[in-house]
Amino acid sequence: MKSLARFSVALISFTLCAHAQVVSPHGTLVVAYVTDNEIAMAADSGSAGEGTKKPDEACKIAAIDGKLLFATSGTADIQSSVDPKLGWGNLEEARTAYNRASQKGGAILVSAADNWANQVVAKWNRLYLNNRNEVEKMIAEHTAGTEAFFAAAVNGKPSLLHVEVAFQPAAGHEQAPFAYHIEPLAANRCPNHLCSIGYPEAVAPYATGSTEEARKEVSEWNSQAWPGAAGDRDVLIAIRVVDLAIANYGGKPESGLSPPIDAAKLTADGTVRWYSRKPACPAN
């Protein structure tokens, strides 16, 4: 088996999902506020592990071609010092997947998400075959795998897909143990309009109203006096949830949550518009 002497990992987060077998305590947070007319996303900028980004510079949201809203959590960037072909970045793979889907035409959202998932799964499996010990160490440390949100307009309506890539070994598939799952999400699938990847416990109180503090917060969002009651209400709520998560969990070493917050929204006309973005993150 080929030995990979060293590779660096930019770990953003990996979170529990119904189809996952790996859970990570390391945090990132991407919040999607989903309505029938708009999908807003906000993310913190923290990262963990030995990656190419400083702890507060991770770019987790992309507005690809101004039409596809993409966000990622999990191990988002792997670089090999031995063989560059064994490395990849989730955002770069998303742009490649979108370009391929655009060339084919048709259902760009589904095609881009499926292409991205296939490519990322193939890269995880190739890395596993070339350096099984290192990847199994990542699996034991709960840092192997990734998740993503893909959002775009479908038939004039904003639509959201959740993609998860996880270590899911099955009999007869020892050489390709990573697999993916794609599920559509809509407003009625996101409690109180809130869906998230990474650090779900930070969002749960506002999605379910499980605490008095959270219920008071949500009540303020629904007030006409709240600053976000106008056209930017949805994206401001997404930002607010991430901001609260940083305040409540950012001090914990295992969380990795850190400002600044990037945010963008997919509007009813099918375009992605930035609300806040770090200069280091590309506009499209």
Structure tokens at 137: 């160490």
Helix runs in 6-89, H state only: none
Both tokens of 136, joined, read 């199994």
Q: What is the pLDDT along the chain (284 residues), one digit of tens a residue?
A: 333 333 344 443 323 232 222 233 346 899 999 999 999 999 998 876 444 445 567 889 999 999 999 999 888 788 766 677 788 889 999 999 999 999 887 689 999 999 999 999 999 998 888 888 888 888 887 778 899 999 999 988 999 999 999 888 875 566 778 999 999 998 888 999 999 998 888 999 999 999 999 999 999 998 877 777 677 899 999 999 999 999 988 666 556 788 999 999 999 899 999 999 999 888 88
> Which residue segments constitute the domains of the chain, with CATH numbers given?
7-272 (3.60.20.10)
DSSP, residue by residue, 244-264: HHHHHHTTSTTT---S--EEE
Amino acid, res. 139? I
State the alpha helices, DSSP H only, in 131-228: 132-140, 204-208, 212-221
The residues, any chain, with a CB within 8 Å of residue 118's CB and separated by 6 or more, are: 180
Distance, in Å, from the CA atom of 60 to the CA atom of 64, rounded to the nearest integer, reads 12
Q: Work out the number of other CB atoms within 10 angstroms of the CB of residue 87.
A: 17
Which residue from 73, 86, 91 is spatially nearest to 132, judged by alpha carbons?
A: 86
My answer on whether omega of the bond before 260 falls inside 30° of 0, hence cis, is yes
Q: What letter does residue 48 receive in the DSSP assignment?
A: B
Give pTM, 2 decimals: 0.86
Give the Cβ contact number of residue 219 at 10 Å: 11
